């Protein structure tokens, strides 16, 4: 008989990390020598899907205005053996901000209930091709799990290639997962505030450019549009082609066009920390390392009185 799910998370604490260590671990030389491509193709997954250590997660999540129910869609159709990773549930319940990074204990408990162990080979997909799956990928990386990949093209590509789908529930055997939180992968609002003065890092904003410039409303109507002073606009869709992440050489051209050099320190941001992960994923793919992501993103920044907001609503 299976016992209760065991949580073996390492305590949530901010270890003393030096700037030198962060630079080394996010440098292209370190990344290219130690990191594999974070994307797996549908044929490659289909070949390995029955391997006992492979765990497939549906990380679909949608903006309120999209009027789609990710859990309901999963119940009706998903890759055989997949489990639903609820981005809103597997988050910090003690904040009003949406789907913020949970504690290691909570993350470990939740992914163990999905059958994930420390030795699992995790593959994440979503229902849009590439949208929210990158957020799930990033969360696993933040908690020290490196054997995690995003499925190229997600569920649409899987279906296009004629691979099987099902509406049947997956029989899940609980896993045993050790969560090792890495604070160097997460940027806070204080980090962004400090960066306004130091300009040590370049902030890349994944939202549509019209929202970045203050010319289109935010999907959360209580928030003004615009951007953090000094941030650069990089809509996550510029990194995709037909729902898939572009090849590394094309991604590098995009980053070079923004003046990003191999030694540039970066922070990714978006509306609530979801599509910022697409930029983070793209940076990893072309060797820029696992750069920091501003977890609160625009929801926190624009929702906090007194934070400066830049815009160009008239196109001046």
Catalytic residues: 270
Residue carrying the six token digits 């099987």: 164
The rounded radius of gyration (Å) of the Cα atoms in the chain is 19
Query: CB under 8 Å to 188, separation ≥6 — which residues?
Result: 294, 295, 296
CA–CA separation, 213 and 207 (whole Å): 10
CA–CA separation, 302 and 297 (whole Å): 9
| DSSP code per residue over the chain | ---PPP--PPP-------HHHHHHHHSHHHHHHH---SEE-HHHHHHHTTSTTEEEEE-----GGG---HHHHHHHSB-TT-EE--TTTSS-TTSSSTT----HHHHHHHHHHTT--TT-EEEEE-TTSSSSHHHHHHHHHHTT---EEEETTHHHHHHHTT---B-SPP------------GGGEE-HHHHHHHHHH--SEEEE-S-HHHHTTSS--SSTTS---B-TT-EE--GGGGEETTEEPPHHHHHHHHHHTT--TT--EEEE-SSSSTHHHHHHHHHHTT--S-EEESSHHHHHHHSTT---B--TT--
Q: Is the dihedral of CA 8, 70, 60, 73 positive or negative?
A: positive
């Amino acid at each position: 008989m299976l016992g209760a799910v065991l949580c073996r998370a390492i305590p949530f604490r901010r270890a003393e990390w030096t700037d030198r260590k962060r630079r080394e671990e996010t440098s292209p030389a370190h990344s290219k020598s130690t990191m594999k491509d974070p994307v797996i193709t549908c044929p490659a997954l289909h070949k390995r899907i029955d391997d006992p250590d492979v765990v497939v997660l549906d990380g679909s999540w949608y903006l309120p205005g999209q009027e789609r129910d990710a859990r309901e869609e999963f119940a009706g159709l998903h890759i055989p053996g997949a489990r639903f990773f609820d981005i809103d549930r597997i988050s910090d319940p003690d904040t009003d901000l949406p789907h913020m990074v949970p504690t290691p204990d909570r993350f470990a408990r939740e992914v163990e209930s999905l059958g994930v162990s420390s030795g699992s080979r995790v593959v994440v997909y979503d229902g849009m091709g590439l949208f929210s799956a990158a957020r799930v990928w990033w969360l696993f990386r933040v908690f020290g799990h490196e054997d995690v990949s995003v499925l190229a093209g997600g569920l649409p590509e899987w279906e296009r290639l004629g691979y099987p789908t099902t509406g049947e529930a997956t029989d899940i055997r609980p896993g045993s997962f050790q969560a090792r939180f890495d604070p160097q992968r997460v940027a806070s609002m204080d980090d962004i505030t400090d960066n306004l003065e130091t300009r040590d890092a370049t902030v890349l904003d994944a939202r549509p450019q019209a929202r970045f410039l203050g010319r289109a409303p935010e999907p959360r109507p209580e928030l003004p549009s615009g951007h953090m002073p000094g941030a650069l606009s990089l809509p996550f869709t510029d990194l995709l082609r037909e729902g898939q992440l572009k090849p590394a050489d094309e991604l590098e051209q995009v980053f070079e066009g923004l003046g990003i050099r191999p030694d540039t320190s970066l922070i990714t941001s978006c509306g609530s920390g979801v599509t910022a992960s697409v930029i983070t994923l793209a940076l990893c793919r072309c060797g820029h390392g696992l750069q920091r992501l501003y977890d609160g993103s625009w929801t926190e920044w624009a929702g906090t009185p007194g934070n400066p907001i830049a815009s160009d609503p008239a196109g001046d």
